Amino acid sequence: MTLTRRDAGLLVLLTLMWGVNWPMMKFSLREITPLWFRALTMSGGALMLMLFYLARGSNMRLPRSEWARVAWLALPNIVGWHFFSILGLTELASGRAAILGFTMPVWTVLIGLLLAHDRMTPHVWISVAGAAAAVALLSAQELAQLAGRPLGIVWMQLAAVSWALGTLLVRRSSTALPVEALTVWMMLVGAAFFWAVAPLAEPAPDLAAFSAPMWASLAYGVFLNYGWAQVLWFGMARRLPPAASAFSIMAVPLVGTLGATVIVGETPGTLDWLAAAAVVTAIASALLPRRAPAA
């Protein structure tokens, strides 16, 4: 399938939104606990999208026959990814969390091969080596530092595996729901999960104490990350082949690492850039189209 100019523009926009979102989330966690952050931003984003699509005349009805399917798809795509990734972000610098989270495409290929019982190709081995190198580089430094947080690496890999599995489930899903309705209802399932667990695990936030930059960060999460970015991603997961979004996904860790220097004052070191390069190599080998062999 040919990538249109519109698709290319949307991929660039998605790259910027997802990349900048990592340091924005890290900034928010200075004033709010992680589960309450997810509950507030995810529910706000889902409600905003619901109203937007209803105003456009989209069919947002969820038939009873689709309840179980939507909940099943939301479990890895929304609950698993957003739960594990926010736990990882509380432990790690935002640039490192973005690098580790975007090992997802490698996990997608590996899980797909496992389900299809296919053999490992040289390109897949390169992807695995690149992802493993990134994890090893960052793990070594976290373990070597007195204040290191190696548990954050575990959380981020669980998040990446969950997102990879969810992406494959969406591609193989036979639901007749429009992508808009599927996205919003999955987000509402995820929001309900976070509203249920946040009061049990964390104290309620004091909204009156939030600073103006904090409100701006929450607005970013609602309107961009949980708003347009979700629609773009799930739309592409169904409409375009994996290779079409490879370049965008490859750039997200780099955007996140660069954005962290401005938004939260993180200074990436040599190992961070080496790990980012390893992840970009892994994604490229896993997703970019292969050159056809000569006749």
Q: What is the DSSP string of 210-270?
A: --HHHHHHHHHIIIIIIIIHHHHHHHHHHHS-GGGGHHHHHHHHHHHHHHHHHHT-----H
Q: Tell me the pLDDT band of 195, cut-offs 50, 70 and 90.
A: very high
pLDDT computed for residue 27 by the predictor: 95
Is 258 or 286 the better-scoring residue by pLDDT? 258
What mean pLDDT do residues 4-27 have? Answer: 84
| C-alpha to C-alpha distance for 220 and 45, rounded to whole angstroms | 10
* pLDDT (tens digit per residue) in 129-175: 877 777 777 777 665 554 457 788 899 999 999 988 998 898 888 88
pLDDT computed for residue 117 by the predictor: 66
Confirm whether 293 is domain-assigned: no
Which residue do the tokens 């190709």 mark? Answer: 121
Alpha helix segments (H runs only) across the chain: 5-28, 34-55, 67-74, 81-91, 94-101, 104-116, 122-144, 150-172, 179-201, 212-220, 229-239, 246-263, 270-287
Confirm whether 107 is domain-assigned: yes
Confirm whether 2 is domain-assigned: no
| C-alpha to C-alpha distance for 92 and 153, rounded to whole angstroms | 8
Question: Residue 20 pLDDT > 60, yes or no?
Answer: yes
Question: Residue 119 pLDDT > 90, yes or no?
Answer: no
Is 95 or 206 the better-scoring residue by pLDDT? 206
> By residue range, what is the domain housing residue 44?
8-58+65-205+212-287
| C-alpha to C-alpha distance for 289 and 287, rounded to whole angstroms | 6
Residue 290: other Cβ atoms inside 10 A: 9
Confirm whether 294 is domain-assigned: no
What mean pLDDT do residues 9-20 have? Answer: 84
Spatial neighbors of 101 by CB under 8 A, at least 6 apart, are 85, 88, 156, 159, 160, 163, 253
| C-alpha to C-alpha distance for 26 and 38, rounded to whole angstroms | 12
| C-alpha to C-alpha distance for 22 and 94, rounded to whole angstroms | 6
For the chain, percent of residues with pLDDT exceeding 90: 41
Confirm whether 219 is domain-assigned: yes
Is 210 or 143 the better-scoring residue by pLDDT? 210
| Structural domains in the chain (count) | 1
Confirm whether 154 is domain-assigned: yes
Question: Residue 237 pLDDT > 70, yes or no?
Answer: no
Is 196 or 261 the better-scoring residue by pLDDT? 196
Confirm whether 265 is domain-assigned: yes
pLDDT computed for residue 146 by the predictor: 42
* pLDDT (tens digit per residue) in 62-76: 999 999 999 999 999
pLDDT computed for residue 39 by the predictor: 97
Confirm whether 113 is domain-assigned: yes
Question: Residue 95 pLDDT > 50, yes or no?
Answer: yes
pLDDT computed for residue 192 by the predictor: 97
Which pair of structure tokens corresponds to residue 52? 């937007």
Q: What are phi and psi of 185, to 5 degrees?
A: -70, -35
Weakest-pLDDT range from 173-177, 252-256, 282-286: 282-286
